[in-house]
Amino acid sequence: MIVTFGEIMMRLAPTGYLRLNQTSQLEMTFGGGEANVAVSLANYNKHARFVTGLPDNDIGAACLGQLRKWNVDTSQIKTNFGRMGIYYCEKGASQRPSKVIYDRAGSVFSQMKSEDFDWDTIFEGAKWFHFTGITPALSDNIAEATLEACKRAKAKNITVSCDLNYRKKLWSKEKANRIMSGLMPYVDVLIANEEDANDVFGIKAGNTDVTAGKLCFDSYRDVAKQIVDRFGIKTVAVTLRESVSASNNLWSALLYDNGNLYSSKKYNIQIVDRVGGGDSFGAGLIYGLTEGYDCQRALEFATAASCLKHTIEGDFNNVSVFEVEALADGDGSGRVQR
Amino acid sequence: MIVTFGEIMMRLAPTGYLRLNQTSQLEMTFGGGEANVAVSLANYNKHARFVTGLPDNDIGAACLGQLRKWNVDTSQIKTNFGRMGIYYCEKGASQRPSKVIYDRAGSVFSQMKSEDFDWDTIFEGAKWFHFTGITPALSDNIAEATLEACKRAKAKNITVSCDLNYRKKLWSKEKANRIMSGLMPYVDVLIANEEDANDVFGIKAGNTDVTAGKLCFDSYRDVAKQIVDRFGIKTVAVTLRESVSASNNLWSALLYDNGNLYSSKKYNIQIVDRVGGGDSFGAGLIYGLTEGYDCQRALEFATAASCLKHTIEGDFNNVSVFEVEALADGDGSGRVQR
Amino acid sequence: MIVTFGEIMMRLAPTGYLRLNQTSQLEMTFGGGEANVAVSLANYNKHARFVTGLPDNDIGAACLGQLRKWNVDTSQIKTNFGRMGIYYCEKGASQRPSKVIYDRAGSVFSQMKSEDFDWDTIFEGAKWFHFTGITPALSDNIAEATLEACKRAKAKNITVSCDLNYRKKLWSKEKANRIMSGLMPYVDVLIANEEDANDVFGIKAGNTDVTAGKLCFDSYRDVAKQIVDRFGIKTVAVTLRESVSASNNLWSALLYDNGNLYSSKKYNIQIVDRVGGGDSFGAGLIYGLTEGYDCQRALEFATAASCLKHTIEGDFNNVSVFEVEALADGDGSGRVQR
Amino acid sequence: MIVTFGEIMMRLAPTGYLRLNQTSQLEMTFGGGEANVAVSLANYNKHARFVTGLPDNDIGAACLGQLRKWNVDTSQIKTNFGRMGIYYCEKGASQRPSKVIYDRAGSVFSQMKSEDFDWDTIFEGAKWFHFTGITPALSDNIAEATLEACKRAKAKNITVSCDLNYRKKLWSKEKANRIMSGLMPYVDVLIANEEDANDVFGIKAGNTDVTAGKLCFDSYRDVAKQIVDRFGIKTVAVTLRESVSASNNLWSALLYDNGNLYSSKKYNIQIVDRVGGGDSFGAGLIYGLTEGYDCQRALEFATAASCLKHTIEGDFNNVSVFEVEALADGDGSGRVQR
Amino acid sequence: MIVTFGEIMMRLAPTGYLRLNQTSQLEMTFGGGEANVAVSLANYNKHARFVTGLPDNDIGAACLGQLRKWNVDTSQIKTNFGRMGIYYCEKGASQRPSKVIYDRAGSVFSQMKSEDFDWDTIFEGAKWFHFTGITPALSDNIAEATLEACKRAKAKNITVSCDLNYRKKLWSKEKANRIMSGLMPYVDVLIANEEDANDVFGIKAGNTDVTAGKLCFDSYRDVAKQIVDRFGIKTVAVTLRESVSASNNLWSALLYDNGNLYSSKKYNIQIVDRVGGGDSFGAGLIYGLTEGYDCQRALEFATAASCLKHTIEGDFNNVSVFEVEALADGDGSGRVQR
Amino acid sequence: MIVTFGEIMMRLAPTGYLRLNQTSQLEMTFGGGEANVAVSLANYNKHARFVTGLPDNDIGAACLGQLRKWNVDTSQIKTNFGRMGIYYCEKGASQRPSKVIYDRAGSVFSQMKSEDFDWDTIFEGAKWFHFTGITPALSDNIAEATLEACKRAKAKNITVSCDLNYRKKLWSKEKANRIMSGLMPYVDVLIANEEDANDVFGIKAGNTDVTAGKLCFDSYRDVAKQIVDRFGIKTVAVTLRESVSASNNLWSALLYDNGNLYSSKKYNIQIVDRVGGGDSFGAGLIYGLTEGYDCQRALEFATAASCLKHTIEGDFNNVSVFEVEALADGDGSGRVQR
């Protein structure tokens, strides 16, 4: 059983490629880094428990219904008076970037306290604990709860993974560095991209210009090694996005484990919806590692899973193990399946 | 020129009669008591200036675009960092009531200060000032700003109207009583329903059971008289809703002016969307009074206008003077206009 | 085989109860008095040939496709360079009337000449010819063609029916009177409502106030008799609409034949879409008379058919003989058919 | 814990009031008598386990996801190669009846065998077992399984309820009589309407003409008593629908228990969607009886619950205990809840 | 006149790129190999008669209406009690393949018998008969009817074409080989792709790896020659799809006639909907050959027609001769046509 | 303040990639060359006044509402009895071109007379006047009004820009040459593409084959120079579209000013909606020049603005100065903006 801990938001998106000031309809779904990971794992037939807080009204109830639909264990979600965070998501195309507007301040989850979480119950039967850098950024209380969760997990011999996921609107780089550095000693598997590592820990690789869509693969070994050396983390995974345009990305990933660097296939993706791409990579990696895959296969599974996410509407990666493996094994031709 | 002052929210409503936990699409419109009044008046070709605060992002911009579309003067709307209030609106039917869920705390407008409003500029050219009981309920700052606006309006000889509109989720009856009582001395025209008068001022009429859909018309003269006597208000209007069901209401109104009680026709309404019904009455009344209609005609105009609102989707009463007058003059047959 | 002759327009309607200035989507269907009659008859498994002119572009082609879908014989429809008439149709509710805006000037059909129609071919195999008062109102050319059609029909012993259907935006009452009076000698069956008879021929019945939704049944015998006496028409049918509101109408009809007045059941209708109600009555009547029904049964069939039309979206009466007869025979309970 | 046993189908419905030959879009939901009961009970926070068979493809998976969303226990649903039953549902209006077309033959569930169901596991923790007359009508195998389930339930002291629900397209009256008569000895609570009792058991009450929308209340005591006398059932409930039109029904119910006849309030309903009305009554009754309500209160709860169902889109009665009780306690005014 | 013979199914597709477990709406259209060919030919102004069986309910009627809309001759379609086959179609994107789920067992057509088809009437005026390998795969009865049709066609000197179209869910390779080999002696024009030829007849070309999107053009001459040699077929056409991804395919074709191999232009296609691509090629080829085009031109017409199909939603290739020829003649620039 | 003068039409477009004969819904927006320029400039916070004529009905009112929404100054728009021009717009994909069908004859604007425009009032405060070659093509009256406007503008020292925009369905090349040549002496900035210059003035550059998507950049200097030499225009801009397919265009532009040729970056665009691309270039150029940008920067701004237009649904270029500059400054990577 895998536990993920974080915030889930309502996602409101205009139909198709309309912008917010053109539309009269919004698609309502739900999403958030750790919820997305839980849904992916549930889709892979893993027991995934998502821990969060939700409003005790029809909005919270609608969100709970969706999580149940996707087979996520919602037994440890608490509800309370208050609001749910929202994010508006405009889909970009070609040279026009996708745009996300957050309205998440004051959510029920961000206002919960460390003692609201009963980690003994939450971790009952758990083998893995996952969170992202967004969770401790939400509030000091939640940062404290995250640290507490990490300690408890460690004490229970539960593997801990973290996706750095720096959000500049939630906290400063300085605060992120301080808080995340305090959490790293408990982390076994770290997922990041170059920007995250730089933003949060000031760890840089040379010669990369992200906006130009060009990435220097070799320099990542250096980034990974610096992370491992600084925090003693066993496994570091880095996702590599080369943005040709909002409609077309190249996507691959690296895994650094025990001093070895593994490199995945690279996918040329026509994008349907790229939000949640990183989360689907994390979930794929957790799946592979908990299934006992070797590093290369776990990395290929994670990369193929997240490649497919870019073809799925919404935050949740609505694909099966069978579909991920078919792609990882080489069939990206998209021929009709009858 | 008429100035209205209050909050405008994003309104999110499931399609048709779906409930929030059934829908994947939300209709996005905007609405709020004073904005609704401004739009109605602009539809009647009045110069209507709406004063509020909005977030300085694409959400706020979308709202501004809608207000401009409806010909509202947005020149005195300020934008700032922050969020916009939201309300979710499930349409009821038959025995199932409509349901409104608010997520409005912490909006840009509610966090503005009295000194953020430059009343001299705002009131330039104004003959009428309108607000509802929702505005001062939003925050102490806004309550202070409302009082300041009333004082300035009075000093400039601007007619002041207020729709009581008690919202129990925003403040207690005690606080409402205290704040609203302080505003009443500046009010020339008060709009209310029996519940409001009772909730806010403890003024009751006998023998009415609102949920049973039965109202005793006669007792309203007493309510109106008590209001006039207590606060020295010249004109009091009371809307009378008899709820047969969520799909069917009877709708009429009374006007008490200089000791005379005027009573409108009563409409039997098949409801399309009843939110904003009261606001459309207020706007109709302001229109009639600023046009110099006599009391009976102003009341009939306001009642016909608000009857039509119940047949219009969204908060805004999308009808013309011609259409209101056709109904007030007696054609409610709904025959096709070619 | 039944021939109908007239204009078909594109119908553009906002979704649901939205008004034209609220919607960003329009439902595109097609409709027009004589086309509606042809579709109804084809739905009753009659061979119905609709004669008109359409633009020779994708708009005309889309319309032809729809007519074929509904099994109408389109073999005598001509296409030419030009435009198709359009009408915008806002659905009313309760006290708000439905509203129709025409944009039909200069259509391909209205600019056709009498010699463009090869009546010998058109009438091959025909037993009935139907047109409405809209057709000759479109242009002098088309008025001439209508007269020619009537003459040819008479010469071929084809029964001729006409629905008066006065449209004040197309011609004056004076011109209507002159042209229609010239056509009446060829008409065997005339369909009208009281307003039409008055508007076109100045024939009135006393004591009726249409907008108030009250109709004096008895006075219609007088109207019918006047028509028969003046023009020597054998059969006159009058539809009686009592408009309670845009959502609720009472609907019945009378038939005057050989000096006898037959009166139908009266239906209390919750309206889905009332456009085309009169046309569906005409089609029902033609069906009944061509099937050899007696007067009472033909009238009940026509009235039940047109009652059902009010529950169908769009101009076309999408019901079968079986469904009409079930209602005419008494089951208006609306119980689920499994 | 309550176990329900039956078939769930895909429901495909045109948008709004469109007919099947007018629409290009179908709303896809799921529904079936026993599934509807399970969803209702789960909405009332009861542990409800639904037992059925589903195809082992994406269609079956979509259905499972919906059941989970509604909090139904799906642990005992088996999947297999094959198809899912479908029903098409056209919404009627006014005089036009709703129309249901079934395409359910050969479904996975109907082809399961008695031995495919492990009743010991299924009934673990169960206090109540519910099925409808549709289940044994599906196939001889399923009829056998139903009998087996009844026997096991009885042996385990589980209360058994049955909704007669005669479907003439599934079996003849003779076969229904034979099979259902064999099941009745195990039934504690029987739900029916007059038609069912007559169709299945030939038990009639006098003076009722269902299509005319008129029901003679008194005669139902006789029907209930005959059922009790013949089969020794403890409790019989009868729902009473008076169909004014497809848009408007009167709805009430009776309960016969220990020789006493209880009668509910009668609701005048503007219909949104009446499919599943009977199922929501059954679920309400089961809820009331398992909660230990007295007969009158259980009946009022069930009737109010099913009244509300008519205002909800889809088969599933998407309402809470709080909402049902508010209506049962008298507030049917439909006033906005803020 | 061209006769096509086969099954038409309801096609249910989620909106846009949603998957079946994400959508609440399904687009309802109709399609099937031989129906698609008939619609294409009717769009090219050919008289196309489609022969099939349909249910005698509203579903069958809706399908008939669509076929008539597209100008297909439906005079020889029989209706009977039963069901219509359905296929669910999820649109793929980029690395995620499109997915088709069939629910076609037990359809009215598949249960018809050879004697249900009156080939003398069906073939009255026919010059061409077309079927695909799906038709005889549906049932033994239909296989027998297909053989009978081929024999009658041959006797009447009607050209016979067949698209191999192997469907592994309908029959085994062994049975396909046996049945199809029995039909080949009557076939004048065979359409296939390499997979089909291999699957059905075990005829292989070397060095092609379909899933990798790479095809060795030269080897196809060998495949075509083997087919010609084995069955004595005059003309063999092979379509060549190189799947870069679900969003992007390269598309071309070859024609082998009288020992000569013709090769078409190759199109680089951004896919809107690729279902029916092969059928649109067949229709284009039939059009070209019946119009007397030389081999190269007929092949280019067919390839351009099927290229355009990939840009059209639904099974039916909604393009005109003019549009196909414009592309075949070289304008694939996609510049706006005003 | 910038004045633009021309016609605005209703734009009706099928949903997504559907063709006109497949859709039952049309997206209703508004657009036209000069209106599009005004909206763009208003989006850049310029005061933009659009001068036209509209029908005095709900259609005209809906259009006015949209223009106000986009912050366009509508104070000089006149309304009158009549119709609004319409254009139908089918979106192309890959090898299938987009298709535009006009129904614009007889519009209110085209029937206005020169004296209907009060240029002194219209030009009050104006610094720039813009029109396209469509405006004088609409009618002789409007051509006369355009000439008058140019003369007045020149007299008032207002800069005049013109986008050649030849429309072959509105006038012949000969008439276009004659009328446009009469207007050129007043034009300061001319925008064109090679086709326009050739079609209207017979000015050609060698070696370009537009449909093949290949353009010879160098030859444009010659075209621009010929225009400058013939008409004495100061600045000439040429947009260069290389149509790979309807889904993919390369887009760049040139500016010829004072004998110098400036060349923009070239964008590889995945197209969402390319209608209005040229207009958005014109607006960007006017913005740059009125802001005092140097030639290269103004050209880059205009090209980036029009690149972004291709990613926006509808005629109006819904982007901000900030977004245009971000692209012009080099970020075309389309990375998500949070």
DSSP bridge partners of E89: E100
Q: Does D23 touch chain E (CB under 8 A)?
A: yes
- pLDDT, tens digit (0-9, with 9 covering 90-100), for F74-116: 999 999 999 999 999 999 999 999 999 999 999 999 999 999 9
Our CA-based measurement puts residue B70 at a distance from the nearest CA of chain D, in whole angstroms, of: 26
Phi, psi (deg, nearest 5) at residue E280: -70, -30
C-beta atoms of C243 and B335 within 8 A: yes
Distances (CA, A) of C116 to B47, C75, C119: 55, 14, 9
* Selection from D265, D266, D271, D15 nearest residue C334 by Cα: D271
Q: How confident is the model at residue B210 (pLDDT cuts 50, 70, 90)?
A: low
Q: Which among A313, A315, A317, A320 is the top mutation candidate for probing chain E, defined by the most E β-carbons within 10 Å of its own β-carbon?
A: A313
pTM (2 d.p.): 0.96
Interval A236-245 mean pLDDT: 94
The predicted pLDDT at position C213 comes to 46
Residue C14: pLDDT over 70: yes
Report domain D2-328's class: alpha beta
Please, are residues F136 and F167 in contact by the beta-carbon 8 Å criterion? no
Distance CA F235, CA F260 (A): 10
Q: Inter-chain contact A270–E245, Cβ cutoff 8 Å?
A: yes
Amino acid identity at A284:
G
**Helix, strand and coil percent figures for chain F, each rounded to 5:** 40, 25, 35
Neighbouring subunits of D (3+ Cβ pairs under 8 A)? A, B, C, E
User: Could you give the 3-state DSSP secondary structure of residue D200?
Assistant: helix
Tell whether the model's pLDDT for residue C205 goes beyond 80.
no
For residue D59, which residues of chain E lie inside 8 Å, CB to CB? Answer: 20, 88, 101, 103
Confidence of residue F210 (pLDDT cuts 50, 70, 90): low
Give the pLDDT band (50/70/90) at residue F208.
Answer: low
Cβ–Cβ contacts within 10 Å for residue D329, how many?
Answer: 10
| C270-324 confidence digits (pLDDT tens) | 999 999 999 999 999 999 999 999 999 999 999 999 999 999 999 999 999 999 9
pLDDT score at A213: 46
Which residue matches tokens 């879409």?
C273
- Predicted local distance difference test score (pLDDT) of residue E131: 98
Mean pLDDT of A135-143: 98
Q: How confident is the model at residue A217 (pLDDT cuts 50, 70, 90)?
A: low
Mutation to test the D interface, candidates B20, B86, B95, most D Cβ within 10 Å = B95
Kindly report, residue by residue over B57-114, the tens digit of the pLDDT. 999 999 999 999 999 999 999 999 999 999 999 999 999 999 999 999 999 999 999 9
Give the span between the Cα atoms of A12 and A99, in whole angstroms. Answer: 12
CB A251 within 8 A of CB A277: yes
What is the band of E112 on the pLDDT scale with cuts at 50, 70, 90?
Answer: very high
Cβ of A318 and E19 within 8 Å?
yes
What pLDDT does residue A3 have? Answer: 98
Q: How many percent of chain C have pLDDT more than 90? A: 88
Which of B15, B17, B89, B96 best tests the D interface by mutation, with the highest count of D CBs <10 A?
B96
Q: Using CA atoms, how far apart are residues D290 and D285, in angstroms rounded to an integer?
A: 8
Q: What is the pLDDT of residues F276-321, one digit of tens each?
A: 999 999 999 999 999 999 999 999 999 999 999 999 999 999 999 9
Query: Which pLDDT score, from 0 to 100, does residue A206 have?
Result: 61
pLDDT over 70 (residue B213): no
The pLDDT score that the predictor gives to residue E212 is 47
Q: How far, CA to CA in Å, does A46 sit from each of A39, A70, A321, C158?
A: 9, 11, 11, 76
Token look-up 């997922």 returns: A191
Q: Does A68 touch chain D (CB under 8 A)?
A: yes
Neighbour subunits, E (≥3 Cβ pairs < 8 A): A, C, D, F
Q: What is the DSSP letter of C87?
A: E
Chains with 3+ CB–CB pairs under 8 A to F are: A, B, C, E
Q: What is the pLDDT of residue E209?
A: 53
What is the pLDDT, as a whole number, of residue A60?
98
Task: Indicate if the pLDDT at residue E213 is higher than 80.
Answer: no
Query: Does E9 score more than 70 pLDDT?
Result: yes
- Average pLDDT estimate for E283-296: 98
For chain B, how are helix, strand and coil distributed in percent, rounded to 5?
A: 40, 25, 35
With a cut of 70, list the residues of chain D below it in pLDDT. Answer: 206-218
Hey, what are D317's tokens? 């009665």
- Average pLDDT on B235-260 reads 95
The mean pLDDT value for A13-39 works out to: 97
CB contact, 8 Å: D322 with chain B?
no
Residue of chain C nearest F64, judged by CA positions = C21
Report d(CA F148, CA F113) in Å as an integer.
11
Contacts A–B by Cβ distance under 8 A: 67
At D209 the pLDDT is 53
A120 touching chain E per CB within 8 A = no
CB < 8 Å & 24+ apart, contacts of A116-121: A116/A53, A116/A78, A116/A145, A117/A51, A117/A145, A117/A148, A117/A149, A118/A76, A119/A148, A119/A149, A119/A152, A119/A153, A120/A152, A121/A76
Size of interface B-C (CB pairs under 8 A): 89
CB atoms inside a 10 Å sphere around CB D100: 16
pLDDT band with cut points at 50, 70 and 90 for residue A216: low
Virtual torsion, Cα C266, C272, C274, C278, nearest 10 deg: -50
pLDDT of residue E204: 84
CA distance F220 to F192: 11
- CB–CB of B12 and A24 under 8 A? no
Average pLDDT over residues F11-34: 97
Q: What is the mean pLDDT of residues E277-288?
A: 98
Cβ–Cβ contact B16 with A under 8 A: no
> Which parts of F125-226 are beta strand (E)?
128-132, 159-163, 189-192
Distance between CA atoms of B83 and B68, rounded to whole angstroms? Answer: 20
